[in-house]
Amino acid sequence: MSHDPQKSSLPSSAADAPAAPGRRGVLRGSLAASAALALPGGALVAAAAPAQALSGRPRAGWGVQAGDVTSSSGLVWVRSDRPARMIVETSSTESFRRARSWHGPLLGPGTDFTGTVPLHGLPAGEQVHYRVTLADPEDPRRTGDPVYGTFRTAPTKRRQDVRFTWSGDIAGQGWGINPDIGGYTVYDEMRRLDPDFFLCSGDNIYADGVIEPSVTLPDGRVWRNITTKEKSKVAETLAEYRGNFRYNLLDSNVRRFNAAVPSITQWDDHEVRNNWYPGQILDDERYTEKNIDVLAARSTQAFREYYPISTLHARGTDRRVHRVVNHGPLLDVFVLDMRTYRNANSPGRQNDDTNGILGAEQLQWLKRELSRSRAMWKVIAADMPIGLVVPDGTANIEAIAQGDPGAPLGRELQIADLLRYIKHQRITGTLWLTADVHHTSAQHYLPERAAFKDFEPFWEFVSGPIAAGQFPASALDNTFGPDRVFVKAPEGENLSPMETPPLFGEVEIDGGSGELTVRLREEGGTVLFSKVLQPGKVGQ
């Protein structure tokens, strides 16, 4: 995202959630006492003593998360307030009769006391209840209060419906957790829709965005933020990146959501720094570390510590974000990484661009996995749009489209190659979802309108931000013939969530007909736009 100007309640005690989870059970527990934060008035709360000086039992006050859930597997995440052994139990019932136990890792400072346990052999298409217990490594009988979560595994039978939500851009442009409006209440709205999972399209944090205690809006109202030490400057150290990833977990809405809805998480630029690319040397006085590759490596470690991502457990792929998450016969989700392998941002007018925005190796991976997929629908989760022009300064391009409506140039060449491959391999059911541009829209790409014509028509839907500033609509580039059939964007720049509601999308696949419905939503229950797509149909 090229915009770079320089939400609910405060966490309470373990009693801030009901005693037992329902079908979409809410989180038990709250934030650990070790959280150092600044109240909206600016007064700092002292951090807890170092872990070795803590007394009592281990606490999992940051909640639980599940991620990358398939028909038979998933991952469960937790963070402790001190060294502890992670133990997970799963059951088909809330009473945890006949529970299955999973002994997880020893959580310590090397992973900021976070850990993830991969679960295998789960029943397909069923609700799985889990609880995480932390045990003292010196005395396993000393355990903390368990924290609870639940998720649905993907179906293996086509007749079961699938529903998920997606969005991106969290705590951006200075709009953080505002206790006056209940914090990130949009997460509670998404939870009530009972999705099978949430696809976060990137910019989970704004590591380069400072969260001030208060911001005065143009109409005189005051936006108040919960702030932390790590959010009071740009992130450079590993500790500062970890603090940025912890920040959103201060919100009780987020913790309840995480305990009830599994995630598929990708990243984009603001996990590190606005509009970054590999090899970049920063010209930014806010940073003492100028080498972006050093910063990216630190953020990558923190990102993988704080989200349950399946590639973390794949041999030889320690830093991979791109992956396929299989969600039964109706859906495969292809999670792209348009950040790690890209070339340098430029005007994007070159006639030869092998590396592009995906890198040659990731492009070949994507082609191969698309060819292998037998799912009816193939969602391509992109962290940037195709035909929307996203500038980087006045001369360079941050995304794919560079504003020249003619034949593909620059990064467009790689996308043209991919679209051509999809057509000639007769791969059907592709659908592109993204966020990044801080408004919501629907684009239909049609070769008859395009300068490049060797592709089948497809749809791209944009949503977000979920908790950041909103911005005007991006310009369109006609290389691939987009028709923007819907857009909702403000005329002014960086409108706060108090001025315009947060945005997210919903996808629902009917198990009987195979129809896929996309709904672009805003907080408050309004469906802004809806489109029904038919399976296997070209040119819809």
User: What is the mean pLDDT of the segment spanning 300-323?
Assistant: 81
Instruction: Tell whether omega for the bond before 465 is within 30 degrees of 0, i.e. cis.
Output: yes
Q: What is the pTM of this model?
A: 0.91
User: What is the mean pLDDT of the segment spanning 428-439?
Assistant: 97
Check whether 48 has a pLDDT greater than 50.
no
Bridge pairing between strands 197-200 and 263-265: parallel
What pLDDT does 83 receive? 97
Distances (CA, A) of 31 to 72, 150, 179, 230, 374: 31, 19, 15, 17, 42
pLDDT-derived band at 54, boundaries 50, 70, 90: low
Inter-residue contact 189 to 140 (CB < 8 Å): no
What pLDDT does 422 receive? 97
User: What is the mean pLDDT of the segment spanning 113-130?
Assistant: 97
Cβ-based neighbours of 285, under 8 Å, separated by 6 or more:
none
* DSSP H helices in 373-514: 412-424
Distances (CA, A) of 536 to 10, 166, 458: 48, 23, 11
Domains (range + CATH), the chain: 14-152 (2.60.40.380), 164-533 (3.60.21.70)
User: 384 in the Ramachandran plot: left (φ > 0), alpha (ψ -120 to 50) or beta?
Assistant: beta
Check whether 457 has a pLDDT greater than 50.
yes
114 against 15, higher pLDDT: 114
Beta-strand runs (E) in 242-370: 263-265, 323-326, 331-335
Quote the percentage of the chain above a pLDDT of 90: 85
User: What is the mean pLDDT of the segment spanning 125-154?
Assistant: 96
Quote the percentage of the chain above a pLDDT of 70: 88
Paired with 59 in beta bridges are none
Residue-wise pLDDT for 372-388, tens only, equals 999 999 999 999 999 99
Inter-residue contact 452 to 480 (CB < 8 Å): yes
Q: What is the pLDDT of the chain when averaged over all its residues? A: 90
Lowest mean pLDDT among 8-17, 86-95, 452-461: 8-17
Residue-wise pLDDT for 210-267, tens only, equals 999 999 999 999 999 999 999 999 999 999 999 999 999 999 999 999 999 999 999 9
